[in-house]
Amino acid sequence: MIWLSVARPHILAIVFMSTVTYGWIMGGAHTPTLLLVALVAVWDWFIVNFMNKATDVDEDLANGIAGADLVQRHRGRVELIGLAMMVLGLALGHLVLPQLWPFRLAFTLIGLGYNYRIVPAPLRDGSGRWRLGLSRFKELYFFKNFGSSVLFTLSVFYYPLYGTAADYPALKLWLAILFFIPLELTYEILYDLRDLSGDRAQGVPTYPVVHGPDVAKRIILGLLMFSAVVPVVGAVTGVGVAVGTTVAV
């Protein structure tokens, strides 16, 4: 059960159901290919989550997250296994669904940038001066959540769109993204509220750490309101009925 929690099954469930749902909306049917695309999306998210548990083990220990002590004892193995699964998954996925290759490559690179210090960014040195260095998306204000939203956009929307060769109106696609992403971000900020003490100790610039819990809660409410308004805008403008521009493979 501990290793199951390390994989963050709630995120994998969200990814699978969302990919199947939006794939069905865009393609008009549940097909074996769509289910395969959803499983590929789950696999890619599993790798990111699995490796993130190793790179964030100090924060998880500070926050009392179940399984963190086990990950700490096997940290090197967790990272090595994660890298091996990542390479194997990309190779096999290229054989089965080659049309997803550019999107999966982008997903993988962003995922690595989320977990490892490979992202060029302005950083302060010991004297307080700014210099160009390497950081993680996880350690950059705003980009921590923005990077995650890009991963969801790729896996939940573009994987099924191009994986099933769906022909779907572009504005309807963007409207769906504008609805889903703010809603998903509220869950991330809720978890950041839970992990406030550990993130603060490790210097992770989440919204609760930077602005405090009250402002973070207001951000959550704002995101929920934005997400709720998007379908109304679509209905009023008629985007949900007919749009001339389409996204096609």
Q: What is the pLDDT of residue 248?
A: 39
Contacts of 213-222 with C-beta under 8 Å, sequence gap 24+, read 216/189, 216/192, 217/193, 219/189, 220/186, 220/189, 220/190
The answer for residues whose C-beta is within 8 angstroms of residue 100's C-beta and 6 or more apart is 37, 40, 93, 159, 162, 163
- Per CATH, the architecture of 2-247 is what? Orthogonal Bundle (1.10)
* Its pTM surpasses 0.95: no
Q: What is the pLDDT of residues 65-95, one digit of tens each?
A: 777 888 888 888 889 999 999 999 999 999 9
Domains of the chain, by residue range, sit at: 2-247
Residue with token string 């109106």:
169
Which residue positions in the chain have pLDDT lower than 70?
Answer: 1-7, 240-249
The pLDDT of residue 244 is 35
